[in-house]
Structure 1
Amino acid sequence: MTNKTCLIFCNCGAGIISDDKKEELSEAFKPLGVDIYELHDLCAFSLNEKDFLHELDQNYDKTLIAACYPRAIKNMFEQNGVQLSNYEVFNFREAGVEQITADVSAKIEEKQDETFYEIKNIDLKVPAWYPIIDKSRCTLCGQCARFCVFGVYSYNKKSLEVANPLSCKNNCPACGRTCPASAIIFPRLPENSALSGAEPSDNKKAAGNDQKGNLFVMLNERNNARRNIFRQGAFQQAEEEKKRALEELKNSLKNPKNDA
């Protein structure tokens, strides 16, 4: 019985890793003995090309993914309705070329004699920059939805969704900086932090979604987290980022690009 594996290599349109590292990874992956799909941007594919990803899942027993933080990819797939039955993510933000190649190779149970390397692009008129909600941490406080002025979120006390992902403004992670639970992720954010998908240092799940949790403890922790946001200057940074995004929007409306 064969165990066919493929590798998805995110070429990260956001430039999270350098072009040199991308090229080194590409060359290091080619001799691994699996079919390789180099995607221009996994964030865009998971939002707009789910059928392609689901087709891969049907054609292969296992999908290995070289991309950014596993937490970011897992929650992005869940949010966008991408259902892969057997996959594993390898973090090229932090691992070096040799390490990630060795880690990927160790997960390949059976090499193929004949393989191919396919490069796939996606044509997006807007950048695939949008927030991902880590629902294992979200307490449904609604802070992100109240802070966002671009209509990205749909919120009530029982539900928070990213209703209009492409309404989010490129390079604006402001709403996520105000989240007291570190539940908002921007996978394309250059900084290496919980906001870009790293595991939060507190490693806590959402007490607010656990009916058996102590309500007073949960509220106290949330209030402390909000105070920390102010103390650390994150709220001020978020205000500056939101202001910059609004200015860019205003300028784009004044000077629309000529599509001709």
Structure 2
Amino acid sequence: MPITPNQGSTGGGTTVTITGTNLGGATAVHFGTKLATITANTPTSVTVISPSGTGTVNVTVTTPGGTSNPLPFFYVGAPFKSSLSPVSGPTAGGDTVTIRGNGLSTATSVAFGATSATPTVVNDSQLTVTVPAGAAAGPVGVSVTTAGGTNNGLSYTYVDSPTVTSLAPTAGPTSGGTGVTITGTQLTTTQSVSFGGTLAPFDVINDTTISAVTPPGAAGAVDVTVVTTGGSATAAGAFTYTAGPGI
């Protein structure tokens, strides 16, 4: 006589189906000492709403013909989430986020705002999930659903992709050391700036301005790339290294 699912929230409310034979006319289904609410009944199945409980209890079905053999049902507490990392990423989604806490082993979904994703359970205290695309930039609540229920309390921030609109100046010596102002949008979370693939020191002035210092480079035009939490933006051939005179 199988029972599906065989685990549910300590608060009750789990829809459980018990299958077997001679189950028609069921008068009672017990979860331990507590009665469950019968919602459907046929000769081969009984569907009930589990009562609240804790630990492992025996489930039995009573019909006019007697009481069935017991089956175990496992009560699971609601999950507890302690941390989420990273806490932000691109609006397009795709980043892998790690959630830590406890009671996570039965996690079936993680919701970022109104959009859910299927997690990979590492163990009872950790899971990973690929962030779905967000509807817009900004923070959303993160909730984890397990057999024990749903727990909220964490936040994830979607960040729009950056843009680079201009550089000043646009040229400098191959020896590097030129101070360059990069103008664009969504630059607050800048993680790196590179000239021709070589990383440059930088400071974020505000969401539309970065101050960078060119590294040494070979003569010619190079791409300038800004990488932020929200993605990356490349200004093709935006800076030209100029070789010094020789005699």
TM-score relative to the length of structure 1 = 0.22
Structure with the greater alpha carbon radius of gyration: 2
Larger strand fraction of residues: 2
Query: Comparing both chains, which one has the higher relative contact order based on Cα–Cα distances under 8 Å and sequence gaps of 6 or more?
Result: 1
